[in-house]
Structure 1
């Protein structure tokens, strides 16, 4: 009997590749879902063209500041004063502007897209009959759960973003301060070594934060309670959550790096293509996260059932 229960539980648990396949299948199996999610993503797509232009411009500007070699005679008399002045004036203002754009318009537009996408994807996944386009337009999401979504988003968006911005500012600031010091190479080594573990912690946290948003949309729980439930559901599946978030992280980076190298942020169709692919990846990410959430939830229920039966 125990072997049968263990087999059922193992059968319930999906591997990362299975979660991705099911997410892609849900997204592509209903043409009405594709059309509707594309339409509701248009405001976010338009804003992302501007946001990505600002973001990539800021990245290039920061790299230019950091790549001013202190060994060059033209810069010796200006370091650290000249670079520090640029850092305090240009970089800080650019960071504040990007933080505002990310926290306010971007998050509002993305939350609206996420609510509709997740609600409809859940219907497409659970209902045997085909969901019509008119049915999607009539009731794309539950209005009652909308307020709870914003409470949860404050927890999972505002605080982590502020921490990220502060960490970026600290790293760049200390890179400048220690530039002409014997501790500069040590600082770079420590930063490089710490990058991997910090990225893993961030991506594992992202899988939990995203699940809390899904719980708010699908279950109606919000705020701290949604975070606690997400942590509880994903407790035994952190490695899967990390791999899934890492895949979409690589997707975003692999899109931005060529665009920065080619100077797409200066204008042209390249930035539009980038934002289009980024939006598609973002929509797919939330559908995949929904599959991951349901699997974690079902796995936990299977374990509880097994404990009760035993």
Structure 2
């Protein structure tokens, strides 16, 4: 298939949305397949909200209560926080990883079948049967590829954690907090027995904290851009594991899938970065109102209701993201095979055709 013009990231998103909107059976099937992920994400997000809330409470208390004479220790918050951190990490690592892998494999398989099928329209039963045929032969390879992706992405997550930890550590050492922008004049004991300082404004500290925040913010944005760029290649590697196989019928997975993905995406890194960045920012933006307005302090019913709402939007975004990855993969692969005449990469693997 000849591609006359390069697909910009906007066109990729448009084609992905058009593919979903143009086939009601595909939308219905992907909706049913995303239900397990939707239900689990509600539980996971509620746990994550509680963890983030406790962590922020602990950090704020340590910073705002910083004093040369007395530093109160909130041991109870820390004791509750550590088990929650472990629980959230384990939930993300095991149940979420497997459910997300199943959902991803299904979305990629079904969208590719509809995209390449010559039957119009494709019946629901046919779509289910063909999707199952692909998934049952690809899950093991996709699991191996996803483990490689997890291994490669772990240093980036540690980078995010290091930047945040280093920022708060420097603030704690310099005494930043509610009283950090002031010169101390005298020390007074308040009603709770804590010592507070009367003070006047200090522009030097304000400037120092602004520079500190900008420096760490720039590093964070750099890591975010790197992660988005690399995740485009990792996601295409998962698509390769689902859709391609070697000439002997064996699936392509692990380092082979990631290498093939790298070859396909060479020269298209900017488009991949833009596509992944859109969905990453979308996922963060959906969560931010709940964290900013402290959903954990609201009534349980409202908290669950809003969490269910934004989890539903995240699941819809996840569907569009993986369909966009399929469109991006098809465009990159076709260009590479056209350029190299089906010799170097085309001899490595062949794509499943519905």
TM-score, normalised with respect to structure 2: 0.75
Change (3 A) 1:72 1:99: closer
Contact kept, 8 Å, 2:228 with 2:273, in 1: the verdict is: yes
User: Could you tell me how far apart the structure 1 residues matched to 2:274 and 2:11 are?
Assistant: 13
Give 1:298 shift. 1.1
How many residue pairs match? The answer is: 296
User: Could you tell me how far apart the structure 2 residues matched to 1:121 and 1:255 are?
Assistant: 25
* Match of residue 173 from structure 2: 181
Change (3 A) 1:291 1:59: same
Greater shift in the superposed pair: 260-269 or 231-240: 260-269
Give 1:75 shift. 9.7
- Structure 1 gap segments, 5+ residues each: 1-7
Greater shift in the superposed pair: 201-210 or 57-66: 57-66
Give 1:203 shift. 0.4
Contact kept, 8 Å, 1:103 with 1:158, in 2: the verdict is: no
Residue 335 of structure 2, aligned match among 288, 296, 299: 299
Change (3 A) 1:154 1:36: same
Contact kept, 8 Å, 2:113 with 2:127, in 1: the verdict is: no
Residue 285 of structure 1, aligned match among 318, 321, 324: 321
Give 1:178 shift. 2.8
User: Could you tell me how far apart the structure 1 residues matched to 2:13 and 2:337 are?
Assistant: 22
User: If you compute each CA radius of gyration, which structure gives the higher value, 1 or 2?
Assistant: 2
Residue 259 of structure 1, aligned match among 266, 279, 290: 290
Greater shift in the superposed pair: 266-275 or 32-41: 266-275
Contact kept, 8 Å, 1:209 with 1:230, in 2: the verdict is: yes
Change (3 A) 1:205 1:89: farther
Flag the structure with higher strand content.
Answer: 2
Q: Deviations over 1:109-159 (max 9, x none)?
A: 111111111111001111131221111232323222221111101001244
Change (3 A) 1:104 1:93: same
Greater shift in the superposed pair: 110-119 or 55-64: 55-64
CA-based RMSD of the aligned residues comes to 2.8
TM-score, normalised with respect to structure 1: 0.85
* Match of residue 15 from structure 1: 8
Contact kept, 8 Å, 1:259 with 1:274, in 2: the verdict is: no
Contact kept, 8 Å, 2:160 with 2:223, in 1: the verdict is: no
User: Could you tell me how far apart the structure 1 residues matched to 2:268 and 2:59 are?
Assistant: 39
Change (3 A) 1:55 1:71: closer
User: Could you tell me how far apart the structure 2 residues matched to 1:114 and 1:232 are?
Assistant: 22
- Structure 2 gap segments, 5+ residues each: 177-208, 245-250, 345-354
